[in-house]
Amino acid sequence: MDRRPRFGPAGIPPVFKFMKATLSDIPRLLREEGLDAFEYEAVQWGKKPQMRKEEAQKLEVEAKRNDVWLSLHGSYFINFCGEKAIVEASKQRLIACATAAEWMSAHVVVFHPGFYGKKSPMEALKTCTEALEDVVENMVSLGIRNVRIGPETMGRTYQLGSLDEALNLCETVERTQLVVDWSHLHARDRGCFRTVEDFRKVAGRIENRLGTDSLKTLHCHFTKIEFTDKGERRHHALQEARYGPDFRLLARVIVEFDLKPVIISESPILDLDAIKMRDILQEELDKS
Ligand SMILES: [Zn+2]
């Protein structure tokens, strides 16, 4: 699939639901809005895929036909840092998500790595790394060939998923794809993205650790975010001026580094903010 900056919603936009659209209608409807990515939300899933294979394959066909890049957001009920039984159950949940992602030819399964709990960050990272290596081994033996697993940068200080930790997982574990949730980083570091330079520095760190290709093909989440001293509180729409970060600053870095990211809007108004971000990037491309 053509590599260029792509934009789309996390989950089915409210207006599509109102129209009673089926899952396989979504790619066409997104294309009609000028969007070209879709993150399927498997966030409530347990140990088995909660969709039929035929349904996933129909989505694949329509996504290809309409040039829509697919990803899948994995179960929220995952903690790769916890007690053994929790980690084992988490492995099964991530594998169930990867199975469905393979059915629909989604490029990446995004997931939240876990919580430190009583462990030190170092211990938590070690437990998580070992669990993910096991997941990848299992995926290979199950014939899941094309999907990558995507550790996401997390917004709360008690969650594993600082930028460094996500980078570390991607350096160590095969078949990973870094997922940068810029809003989470902003919340975790209490409003760290104020200037273009703040975004540029993060892009530079990613390039140093994972290489230019990984930076160019980032999978991203972006919304405005409200935070407390523990980090993320709630996502907000782009139009809410009192929250950050400002997408235009990231758009300038995308132009400067010639990045081709997939940018998923997790805003309360999903597709409408995806369209807004697409247009902001286009304005910055036109200026350059
Ligand atoms: Zn997420």
pLDDT, tens digit, for every residue of 266-287? 988 899 999 999 999 999 999 9
Distance of CA 116 to the CA centre of its chain: 21
CB-CB contact of 225 with 244 (8 Å) = yes
| 59 Cα–ligand 1 center, Å | 21
| 76 Cα–ligand 1 center, Å | 8
pLDDT value for 233: 85
| 274 Cα–ligand 1 center, Å | 16
pLDDT value for 277: 97
| 135 Cα–ligand 1 center, Å | 19
Task: Name the one residue in this structure whose structure tokens are 């809005």.
Answer: 33
pLDDT value for 179: 98
CB-CB contact of 243 with 202 (8 Å) = no
| 23 Cα–ligand 1 center, Å | 20
| 268 Cα–ligand 1 center, Å | 14
| 152 Cα–ligand 1 center, Å | 6
pLDDT value for 120: 97
pLDDT in tens, 126-184: 999 999 999 999 999 999 999 999 999 999 999 999 999 999 999 999 999 999 999 99
Would you give the end-to-end CA distance of the chain in angstroms? 25
Q: How many CB atoms lie within 10 A of CB 111?
A: 28
| 155 Cα–ligand 1 center, Å | 9
| 286 Cα–ligand 1 center, Å | 31
User: Which pLDDT tens digits describe the chain residue by residue (288 residues)?
Assistant: 779 999 999 999 999 999 999 999 999 999 999 999 999 999 999 999 999 999 999 999 999 999 999 999 999 999 999 999 999 999 999 999 999 999 999 999 999 999 999 999 999 999 999 999 999 999 999 999 999 999 999 999 999 999 999 999 999 999 999 999 999 999 998 888 999 999 999 999 999 999 999 999 999 999 988 888 888 888 888 888 788 799 999 999 999 999 999 999 998 889 999 999 999 999 999 998
| 288 Cα–ligand 1 center, Å | 32
Measured between alpha carbons, how far is 246 from 193 in angstroms, rounded to an integer? 8
For 152-178, letters b (16+ CB in 10 Å) and e give: bbbbbeebbbbbebbbbbbeebebbbb
The contacts of residue 85 (CB under 8 Å, 6+ apart) are none
pLDDT value for 79: 98
> What are phi and psi for residue 77, nearest 5 degrees?
-90, 55
| 110 Cα–ligand 1 center, Å | 7
| 61 Cα–ligand 1 center, Å | 25
| 113 Cα–ligand 1 center, Å | 10
pTM for the complete prediction? 0.95
| 75 Cα–ligand 1 center, Å | 9
Element containing residue 114 per DSSP (H, E): strand 114-115
CB-CB contact of 264 with 39 (8 Å) = yes
The two three-digit tokens of residue 73, written as one number: 């957001």
Who surrounds ion ligand 1 at CB < 5 A?
Answer: 152
| 188 Cα–ligand 1 center, Å | 14
| 156 Cα–ligand 1 center, Å | 12
